[in-house]
């Protein structure tokens, strides 16, 4: 398998997903798998789900055409595709029948166990300055836990048109580059297929979306990205192998971590939807859905680019010696990514909220600062409308 195979596989997956999505939308409407307004989403409801089935079709078709199923790698690839089918079906049932969270979790564990049983398993990790750490018999269950975590991270981030599909496409592209550089060609092609499937679906999912991927799609992308990370980087001997997926998927990981901590703080169920996600916060300060998702894409690109740079910039000889010049370059890139992250998390959410509130309501600075402090404590920003005036939000006349 070569880079050319990966490019062709990406194109094939893109075409299949783009063509199949309208068909899955018709199926969704026929069986009643239609989105209902939820607290964690910004959609009004009524959009067909099951877009994940179109991505599954794209992955299976492109996989059969461009993946090499010979030898021991073939067993692992068969396991990944089988697990993909299982989680897509579990997600489709959830989209239609709204399964209990415990049932969904069991389905995720079952789907993750399929590729792990086929050999998609992390047995050891190489840490900088510490060397290899062997997990032994704990490798398999730890890998299952990791795959389930990635599935839920992607699932929880899917609350605005185009966000999950775009972020996963960017992440998959970064994983493909890293995997090929680590000579994990099978993982590189699988990552390219995942990227193509997400982009093909994004044709119909970018705002205003005509189709949603549903839990069917978000869990599918999460499982595929998790398997790609394991096969393409984590189970290699690369010193920064574990860091690559954490940096590439930092945006959904940070979003999920923040939301879960908020729910734990206020003693709410972890699985209960709320309005504490990044996209809700951007909406609360007046961002449109398109602007919100483009900012989050840009953040993901910055982090993914930094992860790729960690692999390609020769700042170290992997033996403990660092090149001063290239190390300075990496430090500079790291500071730029950190600055972009601070800008998005702090400036856009806090400072812009303060300025917007003062401008639109005409309230005193002290009152606004108190409101911002309250919002920071609770994590709940009151949405601002363009017609808000000095006396506060207008109410409709009777």
Q: How many residues appear in the chain?
A: 398
Q: Is 318 annotated as a binding residue?
A: no
Residues 6+ apart with CB under 8 A from 222: 147, 150, 151, 152, 153, 154, 155
Phi, psi of 32 (to 5 degrees): 85, 20
User: Could you count the other beta carbons within 10 Å of the beta carbon of residue 3?
Assistant: 14
356 is written with which tokens?
């917007």
Residue bearing tokens 């959904």 = 252
Q: How far apart, in whole angstroms, are the C-alpha atoms of residue 172 and residue 153?
A: 15
Answer for the pair 93, 85: CB distance below 8 angstroms, yes or no. no
What's the distance, Cα to Cα, between the start and end of the chain in Å?
Answer: 68
Q: Is 155 annotated as a binding residue?
A: yes
Residue bearing tokens 């059969």 = 64
5: exposed, middle or buried (C-beta count within 10 Å: 0-12, 13-18, 19+)?
middle
Q: How far apart, in whole angstroms, are the C-alpha atoms of residue 66 and residue 321?
A: 40
Residue bearing tokens 């993901």 = 300
Distance between alpha carbon 294 and the CA centroid of its chain, in Å?
Answer: 14
**Cβ density class 244-281: b for 16+ within 10 Å, e for less:** bbebbbbbbbbbbebbbebbeeeeeeeeebbbbbbbbb
Residues 6+ apart with CB under 8 A from 100: none
Q: How many helices (H) and strands (E) does the chain have?
A: 15, 2
Phi, psi of 322 (to 5 degrees): -120, 140
Binding-site residue set for Mg(2+): 155, 215
């Amino acid at each position: 398998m070569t880079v050319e195979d990966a490019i062709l596989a990406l194109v094939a997956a893109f075409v299949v997903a783009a063509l199949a999505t309208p068909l899955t939308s018709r199926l969704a409407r026929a069986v009643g798998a239609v989105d209902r307004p939820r607290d964690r989403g910004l959609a009004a409801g009524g959009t067909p789900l099951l877009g994940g089935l179109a991505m599954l079709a794209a992955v299976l078709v492109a996989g059969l055409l461009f993946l090499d199923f010979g030898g021991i790698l073939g067993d692992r690839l068969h396991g990944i595709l089988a697990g993909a089918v299982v989680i897509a079906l579990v997600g489709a049932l959830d989209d239609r029948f709204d399964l209990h969270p415990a049932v969904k979790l069991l389905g995720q564990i079952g789907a993750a166990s399929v590729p792990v049983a086929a050999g998609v398993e992390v047995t050891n990790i190489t840490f900088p300055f510490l060397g290899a750490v062997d997990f032994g018999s704990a490798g398999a269950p730890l890998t299952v836990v990791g795959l389930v975590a990635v599935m839920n991270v992607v699932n929880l981030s899917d609350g605005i048109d185009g966000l999950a599909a775009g972020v996963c496409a960017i992440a998959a592209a970064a994983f493909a580059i890293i995997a090929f550089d680590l000579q994990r060609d099978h993982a590189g092609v699988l990552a390219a297929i995942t990227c193509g499937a997400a982009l093909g679906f994004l044709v119909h999912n970018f705002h205003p979306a005509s189709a949603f991927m549903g839990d069917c799609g978000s869990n599918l992308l999460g499982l595929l990205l998790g398997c790609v990370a394991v096969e393409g980087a984590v189970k290699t001997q690369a010193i920064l192998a574990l860091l690559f997926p954490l940096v590439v998927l930092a945006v959904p990981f940070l979003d999920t971590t923040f939301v879960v901590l908020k729910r734990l703080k206020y003693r709410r169920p972890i699985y209960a939807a709320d309005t504490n996600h990044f996209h809700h916060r951007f909406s609360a300060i007046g961002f449109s859905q398109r602007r919100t998702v483009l900012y989050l894409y840009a953040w993901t690109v910055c982090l993914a680019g930094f992860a790729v740079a960690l692999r390609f910039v020769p700042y170290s000889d992997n033996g403990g010696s660092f090149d001063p010049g290239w190390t300075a370059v990496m430090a500079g890139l790291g500071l730029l990514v950190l600055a972009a992250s601070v800008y998005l998390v702090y400036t856009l959410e806090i400072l812009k909220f303060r300025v917007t509130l003062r401008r639109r309501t005409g309230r005193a600075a002290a009152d606004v600062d108190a409101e911002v402090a309250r919002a920071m404590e609770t994590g709940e920003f009151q949405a601002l409308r363009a017609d808000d005036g000095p006396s506060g939000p207008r109410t409709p006349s009777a």
